[in-house]
Structure 1
Amino acid sequence: MEKIASFQVDHTTLRPGMYLSRRDGHVVTFDLRFKVPNTGDLLTNAEMHSVEHIIATLLRNSEQKDAVIYFGPMGCQTGFYVLLDNEQLTMEDCIALVQSVFEAGANYTGEMPGKSAVECGNYINLDVDLARTQCRYYADLIRDWTVEQLAY
């Protein structure tokens, strides 16, 4: 069986940041790494879930919403993936979009999007403050990120 792209990345040297994980035609997958792998320092389920709700909502309400394909957490609890259409966005645009939504998430003061039993399968572990804290961390981390830094 062929190894998938993410299993070909050396996780023993990987550090938090924003990386180009793969290209599939016009779809680009970015690794939004929050934590150093295999250290035991992981995002909690509530942190991941809360960031997912805020950032997915911000992405799908951004001016570039038509270029947003997917945003969601990594099973290993060290970050997120975002899939974008690179026929609509340059690499610089992709970085700017991610920077923008995480900055907006860090400053978010509204109600948690999708926080009801009707809208979410585990709404009780959603927390705006947890999301804001993690978004602030990541927004600060990638504030000056460049295309050259997208390489693993």
Structure 2
Amino acid sequence: MDTIASFTIDHERLMPGVYLSRQDVDPATGAVVSTFDLRLTSPNREPVMNTAECHTIEHLGATFARNHPDWANRVVYFGPMGCRTGFYLVVFGKLSSAEILPLVIELFTFVRDFTAEIPGATPAACGNYLDQNLDMARWLAKRYLARDLVHAEAGDERRLLYPSPLAQAPPA
């Protein structure tokens, strides 16, 4: 089997930031789809997010993105990475990390400032509605904005472009 692209990124050098993970033409629609890696923690160097705060950011981020006046019709998906170090944002269109950054900043500002009931956090709307942590979700969003996205916004390519891929073993 071929190694998928995300497993070729050197996670030992990856910093929190906003990265274009992949860009493909969707065979079903012919539309360009861009997948962004929104990395909130340094892989293998910082603690991962607990499921409760990750779940809360998922509920808030998906709600925000799918209701955004300019982006709602372009958002395909917003959700957590299995490793719990960040989120994927999938949108229609050929975009760079720098071009999606304003939406990411808006989204995490929304999470940081959110104080109401978490959308969809009811037994009827969610399969694990009790696994939520708004305070920690807000803290993570605040840290991501102040510690990481501020550098991406300033053009720090280490926060916008993946580090060099890992060396690939030659085919057997």
Q: TM-score, normalised by structure 2?
A: 0.81
Corresponding position of 1:10: 10
Q: CA deviation at 1:148?
A: 6.8
| 1:24-46 deviation per Cα after TM superposition (whole angstroms, max 9, x unaligned) | 12111111111111236111011
Distance in 2 of aligned mates of 1:92 and 1:41: 27
Pair member with larger Rg: 2
Amino acid at match of 1:8: T
**Are residues 1:131 and 2:137 paired?**
yes
Q: CA deviation at 1:139?
A: 2.1
RMSD value, Cα: 1.8
Q: CA deviation at 1:96?
A: 0.8
Distance in 2 of aligned mates of 1:53 and 1:80: 12
- Map 1:54-133 → 2, pairs under 5 A: 54-63=60-69, 64-86=71-93, 92-133=98-139
Tell me, yes or no, if the aligned pair for 2:74 and 2:93 is still in contact at 8 Å: yes
**More helix, by proportion:** 1
Q: CA deviation at 1:144?
A: 4.8
Q: Secondary structure in 2 aligned to 1:114?
A: coil
Distance in 2 of aligned mates of 1:90 and 1:20: 6
Q: TM-score, normalised by structure 1?
A: 0.90
Q: Choose 37-46 or 27-36, whichever is displaced more.
A: 37-46
* Consecutive unaligned residues in structure 1, runs of 5 or more: none
* Consecutive unaligned residues in structure 2, runs of 5 or more: 26-31, 163-172
Distance in 2 of aligned mates of 1:40 and 1:148: 21
Corresponding position of 1:151: 161
Q: CA deviation at 1:93?
A: 3.9
Q: Secondary structure in 2 aligned to 1:37?
A: coil
Percent identical:
41
Distance in 2 of aligned mates of 1:93 and 1:13: 23
Corresponding position of 2:21: 21
Q: Secondary structure in 2 aligned to 1:48?
A: helix
Tell me, yes or no, if the aligned pair for 1:71 and 1:81 is still in contact at 8 Å: yes
Distance in 2 of aligned mates of 1:135 and 1:66: 24
